[in-house]
Amino acid sequence: MTIKALLLGSAAALMAVTGARAADAIVAAEPEQMEYVRVCDAFGTGYFYIPGTETCLKIGGYIRSEARFGRDESGTSDWSFWNRAQISFSAKSDTELGALTSQITLRGEVENSYDRNEFIDEAFIELAGFRVGYQYSWWDDDPSGETDSVASNSTNHNSVRYDFGNETFGGGISVDELEDDYDTKPGEGPNNIGVAAQLAGTAGIFSGFLLGGYDTDTEEAAIRAIVYADLGNAGKLGVYGVWASGVNYYYEESEWTVGAQYELKLNDKWAITPGAQYFKNVGLNAGNTGFGNADAWVAGATVDYKIVENLSSKLSVQYRHEDEQDDQVYGFMRLERKF
């Protein structure tokens, strides 16, 4: 038998078998249609629709690493490394009452093998100007530099808050659970209630914020004012002051204080922010019932450098003088990656 005859015979046999079994051929099922993630631009950049819903989700966060220095920064050591990792989830959807927002922020911090913690940093629901849950108060909104000290104790609380206004004028009021074990003054404990209110506005190059807080347990109040002047390419000037009727959860650094900073953006990568602050009657008196009688001042500068997109560094160096205390120099070097 020749090779040609062998090939023709094999082909004929194959065709016969194929034809005999054609009825038994397996038909593959059509694949289900894939639902791609859609971009949601109704609430700004970074949001996408959760598949199968009309809810938009944004995921973000940062990793921050610092080398801190100062007298007894960590125990008896004058320096220490410190790190933070944070991730946030913001969900928004349109309703007949406006945007329904929920925010979850998770944070972990570690300084060494025995000093680490993980916790919920934010968890709140917001609709029609009302915000309920664990959130940052307006006392957390401080100037951009690192010289200032314009709030005391924790600045996030379990709160019920209402905001109103527009781009040029607004304000709000909140009722805060001052949940920390606050025992600076004799007889003070946790689960206190505070009330805070703020007014904010802009006019031309100026913007300002007037904030007040009342601690119902100590029956003392604090008032803070911050004013900025945006000078364009010449930089941004900020002045601020705080007054307290007595030691309270919102502010207990001193009886009153004033300060200023000047944020100068040298170019797209470099910025420097020098600042200074003066404190009258810092600390507490011998019985911890009111402010002390010493004065203090602090001066320093913060340098920001943008290495590449979403990666930046910050150097802060501060000098503090307080009556009848040793002067000290402290600060940090930070590297931060945002996403």
**Residue position matching structure tokens 């200032």:** 148
Place of tokens 């402010």: 291
**3-state secondary structure labels for all residues of 123-154:** EEEEECCEEEEEEECHHHCCCCCCCCCCCCCC
Q: What is the share, in percent, of the chain residues with pLDDT greater than 90?
A: 78
Per-residue pLDDT band at 274 (split at 50, 70, 90) = very high
Q: Look over the chain and give the mean of its residue pLDDT values, rounded to a whole number.
A: 90
192 or 320, which is more confident: 320
Number of H helices, E strands in the chain: 1, 17
Q: Tell me the mean pLDDT in the region 43-51.
A: 95
pLDDT at residue 14, rounded to an integer: 44
- pLDDT for position 3: 47
Give the chain's radius of gyration (CA, Å): 30
Rounded average pLDDT over 212-237: 95
Q: For 67-81, 179-193, 255-269, which range has the lowest pLDDT when averaged over its residues? A: 179-193
Cα separation values, 162 from 15, 37, 141, 242, 249, Å: 80, 34, 17, 23, 21
Compute CA distances 282 → 42, 211, 222, 239, 289, whole Å: 48, 21, 15, 20, 13
Angle at 270 between CA 268 and CA 276, to 5 degrees: 130
Distance CA 27, CA 31 (A): 12
- Provide the whole-model pTM: 0.86
The SS3 of residue 15 is helix
**pLDDT given at position 184:** 62
User: Is the pLDDT score of 130 beyond 70?
Assistant: yes
For residue 21, what pLDDT is reported? Answer: 46
The SS3 assignment for 40 reads coil
Q: Residue 34: what pLDDT?
A: 61
Query: What's the maximum distance between 2 C-alpha atoms anywhere in the chain?
Result: 118
Can you read off the two tokens belonging to residue 261? 């900073």
What is the average per-residue pLDDT within 184-210? 87
Q: For 291, left (φ over 0), alpha (ψ -120 to 50), or beta?
A: beta
List phi, psi (to 5°) of 322.
-135, 140
Q: What are phi and psi of 19, to 5 degrees?
A: -65, -35
Of 88-97, 189-198, 207-216, 263-272, where does mean pLDDT reach its minimum? 189-198
Determine what percent of the chain is predicted with pLDDT higher than 70.
Answer: 86
Tell me: the pLDDT tens digits for 48-81? Answer: 999 999 999 999 999 999 999 999 998 889 999 9
